Amino acid sequence: MTVKLTNALTLFFSLLVEAMPFLLLGVLLSSLLLLFVDERRLIAVMPKHPLAGALAGSLAGFLFPVCECGNVPVARRLLIQGAPSSMAVGFLLAAPTVNPIVFWATWTAFRDQPEIVFLRIFFSLAIAVIVGWTFSRQVDLRPMMQPSVARLMPTPVPPSQIGQSALLQSGTFLLDAAGQPIRLDNLVAAGGTIISRPFSERLQLMIDNVTQEFRELGGMLVIGSAIAAAVQVFVPRDIILSLGQGPITSILAMMALAWVVSICSTVDSFFALAFASTFTSGSLLAFLVFGPMIDLKNIGLLLTVFRGRTILYLFMLAGQLTFLFCLVMNLYIS
């Protein structure tokens, strides 16, 4: 029992040391978005079509290279600032994998199997776009969010009113200096005209916001890491891997392993490399694609944004699509 406790503590601190720098990076990017980016201009240049929005969000990882811990605060900030749900969900799922750091790390580990490198990016991108587009069908995402986040989100414009004059839309509006109507509830939810405040004031607000978000999300990361470490100790990896090495069972085994071990996406390719000689290419891709999207460690972080039912939807959609893509890989390609 003492040995298991020691192993659990070692795993717990390993996960924390690995994840905390990326969480801090995500919180910094989130605060920069809040205080130094004009959200109305940002939203104005975003694609309006749900599929294009999901693709843009999925590719945004090249601009914000964060792992599965740092992507949560950035996705939350995008939703609060009124970004389309397809874009925020696409970023949430794709950014931990579709970014230059992870591409380089995967290439270093699997340079002898380049198909693993490129299919990892392609599968992650395709799954993120499909799930992001699916979430865009929900016009008002607020019932699926935690109340603290839903209160800050702007009121969505119904599809029937898109393109209409503001004078024909429901809601409360003000006229800006140019005489253009501004939806009042959206302005309040987004934090008003923070971007117009003096630089020193915005800098102080950024420091306060970083402290608050890091304390809130860091606490959830500690809980998630503790649960992941305990599960790894009491459910050994050998039991999961013994589930099977066939074309189907190997995919399920590696997806379960990825969910449990919760390794950062920047280094998980080196962990997967140890199984390259015994597992199929499809099952290796299942580990590399599914783990960065939803693992045991970051469920606590996701619970600061989404309700539990929404996380279950994300988990089921991402899991089914990963299984389908990797099964095709096992049966028809590799």
Q: Is the dihedral of CA 217, 220, 226, 232 positive or negative?
A: negative
- Per-position pLDDT tens, the chain of length 334: 677 788 888 878 887 777 777 778 777 776 777 667 666 676 677 787 888 989 998 898 777 766 777 788 888 888 887 888 898 999 899 988 988 888 888 888 888 889 999 999 999 999 999 999 999 888 888 899 999 888 888 776 655 555 555 555 555 555 555 555 555 445 444 444 566 677 777 778 778 878 877 887 777 778 877 877 787 777 766 676 676 678 888 899 889 888 887 777 877 888 888 787 778 889 999 999 998 898 887 888 888 899 999 999 999 999 999 999 999 998 888 6
Residue 3, both tokens: 């040995």
Chain CA centroid to CA 252, Å: 22
* pTM, 2 dp: 0.78
Chain CA centroid to CA 187, Å: 26
pLDDT, residue 93, reads 92
Per-residue three-class SS string for 285-320: HHHHHHHHHCCCCCHHHHCCCECHHHHHHHHHHHHH
pLDDT, residue 162, reads 53
* Residue 175 CA neighbour count, 13 Å, CB half: 4
pLDDT, residue 124, reads 95
Q: Which residue has the tokens 């117009």?
A: 196
Q: Is the dihedral of CA 130, 132, 135, 136 positive or negative?
A: negative
pLDDT, residue 190, reads 46
pLDDT, residue 206, reads 78
Q: What is the DSSP string of 58-112?
A: HHGGGTS---TTTHHHHHHHHHHTT--HHHHHHHHHHTTTSSHHHHHHHHHHSTT
What are residue 173's phi and psi, to 5 degrees?
A: -130, 155
Q: Can you tell me the distance from the alpha carbon of 68 to that of 71, in angstroms, rounded to the nearest whole number?
A: 5
pLDDT, residue 266, reads 75
